[in-house]
Amino acid sequence: MLLLCHQVRFTSAAWSRVLQNPKDSFASLRSPIESLGGRIKSVFFSLGSYDVLAITEFPEDFPLSSLDIAVSAGGEVASIQTTRLLAASQAADAARSAGHNSSPPPPRHRSFFASAT
């Protein structure tokens, strides 16, 4: 499965809807995600540059651009930044396939000299 992290900034209209009906504050994300075959694993309001942080799961062959377009088309998302997440084993595999050695470098020998003066 493909894990994704979405950083989302809502429009003013979306905030008005959230304040009026806080029961499903994330409907503007949930609908397009589920309609494209994904599911929300975790979702949080956040402080800072973005309003929401969502972790979603999609089939491995899912085209990432489809989600950003579908979420933005609803009119309640001002911007979305999507990042693919990798498990530690996936990151190690990616590093190996890129030609990076996954083993740590050998320790450097340090000589310590004491002065008698």
**Helix axes of 27-35 and 12-20: crossing angle, nearest 10 degrees:** 100
**43 inside domain:** yes
CATH, residue 57: 3.30.70.920
**111 inside domain:** no
Total of domains in the chain? 1
SS3 52: strand
Laid out side by side, the sheet with 2-10 consists of: 39-45, 52-58, 2-10, 77-85
**93 inside domain:** no
Cross-strand partners of 53? 7, 44
Residue pLDDT, tens place only, 12-58: 888 888 888 777 788 888 999 999 999 999 999 999 999 999 999 99
**45 inside domain:** yes
For the chain, how many helices (H) and strands (E)? 4, 4
Residues of the domain holding 31? 2-88
pLDDT at residue 103 in the model: 61
**102 inside domain:** no
